[in-house]
Amino acid sequence: MTFDWPLALGLILTAVAAASAAVVLAGLLQTRAGRRPEGVFSDSQAGTVFLFDGETLLDATPGARAILALSPARGGPWLRLLAYLVPRFPDLEARLSRLARDGRFTLASAAEGEPLLLMAEMRGGITRLTIDDPSSAERPRLDHLSQRALAEELDQLRATVAQAPLMMWRESAGGEVIWANAAYLREAAKRLPPDRDLSWPLPRLFDRAASAQGAPRQRQRIEVKGVDRWFDLESFADPAGRLLFALPADAAVQAEATLRDFMQTLAKTFAHLPIGLAIFDQHRKLALFNPALLDLTGLPPDMLALQPSLFSFLEALRDRQMIPEPKDYPSWRRQILELEKAAASGLYAETWSLPSGQTYRVIGRPHPNGALALMFEDISTEMTRTRRYRADLELGQAVVDAMEDAIAVFSPAGDLVMTNAAYGALWGHDPVETVGGGAAVQLCEQWRARSSPSPIWVEAERFLAALGPRDPWSGEIRLEDGRLVSCRFAPLTGGATLVLFRILDVPAAEAADPASLRMA
């Protein structure tokens, strides 16, 4: 039997080919069996992609879902995504409204730093949004622990802002509120109707004047539960818009209103004061004056409105002869310096007799913070009345001194208040020293010492000390030199007492007899 070598070789080749085909087929089957259903959102490296049907989220990559989870806005996925994208892409809302017509568009972020790219496409009513960071390929990838540390820090910052008791929000360049903290959102939610929720863009609580005008600080009012609340708005500009803080200012507004009312009350009081008031600040500039100062000094209002210095103010008074004219100008300058020093220490008070015949009382008083107040009071009428009263007293005293009878007047308390020249000559007392210098009891002792013994002085002491209605009476005493004197005691209005001493003309023979007493 011969061996068929061609047949054996064919069988070997056939077996090898079959084995190879089986290996290839098994590999193909294993690859197909291990493959997962493909989709753009199943790969963690697929980037940041969103699929929306209107505002309903169909699917998103893990990175896209992380953006939605970290968004500070409340509400649905579409609102949370807009809250993240609009600050970075200001024209996004306008471009999205035209996406159905344009089909697709690509935007670059307007913020400073590393830019982002947003690619939007609509097919069959489905919106596909892709966010790409061109610089991510150049940066080294963070490990899991670094990403975890960044996430924890971000959570702490978000919690800090959320617990802040004051309202904070961010506005875009167009004035829309694109971000707000929890305090702002709570206040905004209170103003919504019961059947509405917060939506994009966020409602505005404050007027836009602060951000539109670029003012770093502005005070505004809003109504909270029917009560007006005031806030100081602090604004900080950045390329994307402005960051604003609302600081409560109710206490400051109330204090300012109280101070304003107090100042108005003072202004009204000063306006009705007959005393001229001029207040100079610590730099000696006129800070406040009242209308009475214009009437008393005759200074023009426009001159005082320019806040002249103290020296200029007094110089203007001197030009109008409203200051007593000194002998020379240097002494007047020294007088001004002395006036300022004395008024600053609270010691200045003078009476100015002016050439016009008017008399002013000028008082200087120090005020807090180095201010100085000068008060001008026209006392011309008072001085005229005083001079007239003094002249009347002098005339009355002259009339009494011209009388031959000695007169002494006692107050209800028994003090000597008035005598005349005849009284001093009779009893040897200086009228100036006697008036107010002793009580009735002491004077009765002096009268008793200069006269012969007589019971009239006991009655005189009792009469001068008595209160209530009294009847006048008279008597006679004889002096040590032998003269006979008639004494009359009479009550006056108000409880005063008049004592009159008259020297009687008596014959020489009776002058040698013992003193006689006749009581009436």
pLDDT per residue over 31-87, tens digit each? 554 444 444 444 445 578 899 988 888 888 887 887 787 676 667 888 888 878 887
Query: Residue 184's pLDDT is what?
Result: 81
Domain that holds residue 367: 273-378
Distance CA 95, CA 108 (A): 12
Give the pTM: 0.43
Query: Are residues 337 and 409 located together in one domain of the fold?
Result: no
Query: Are residues 504 and 406 located together in one domain of the fold?
Result: yes
Residue 111 lies in a domain: yes
Query: Are residues 328 and 279 located together in one domain of the fold?
Result: yes
Query: Residue 501's pLDDT is what?
Result: 93
Q: Quick one: 54 exposed, middle or buried, by C-beta within 10 A (0-12, 13-18, 19+)?
A: exposed
CATH (domain of 411): 3.30.450.20
What is the token pair recorded at 24? 């290839």
Query: Are residues 234 and 195 located together in one domain of the fold?
Result: yes
Query: Are residues 413 and 485 located together in one domain of the fold?
Result: yes
Residue 155 lies in a domain: no
Query: Are residues 277 and 174 located together in one domain of the fold?
Result: no
Residue 421 lies in a domain: yes
Query: Are residues 178 and 279 located together in one domain of the fold?
Result: no
* Three-state secondary-structure class, residue 15: helix
Residue 41 lies in a domain: no
CATH (domain of 88): 3.30.450
Residue 122 lies in a domain: yes
Question: Domain ends where: 320, 343, 378?
Answer: 378
B/e letters for 162-193, b = 16+ CB within 10 Å, e = fewer, are: eeeeebbbbbbeeebbbbbbbbbbebbeeeee
> Which uninterrupted H or E stretch holds 334?
helix 329-344
Query: Are residues 242 and 280 located together in one domain of the fold?
Result: no
Query: Are residues 508 and 406 located together in one domain of the fold?
Result: yes
Query: Residue 490's pLDDT is what?
Result: 93
280: pLDDT strictly greater than 50 = yes
Question: Domain ends where: 220, 252, 284?
Answer: 252
Query: Are residues 347 and 404 located together in one domain of the fold?
Result: no
Residue 182 lies in a domain: yes
DSSP H helical ranges for 199-319? 209-213, 250-272, 291-297, 301-305, 310-319
- Average pLDDT of the residues of the chain: 77
Query: Are residues 128 and 69 located together in one domain of the fold?
Result: yes
Query: Are residues 312 and 245 located together in one domain of the fold?
Result: no
Number of domains within the chain: 4
Question: Domain ends where: 346, 378, 410?
Answer: 378
Residue 262 lies in a domain: no
Distance CA 187, CA 167 (A): 9
Residue 106 lies in a domain: yes
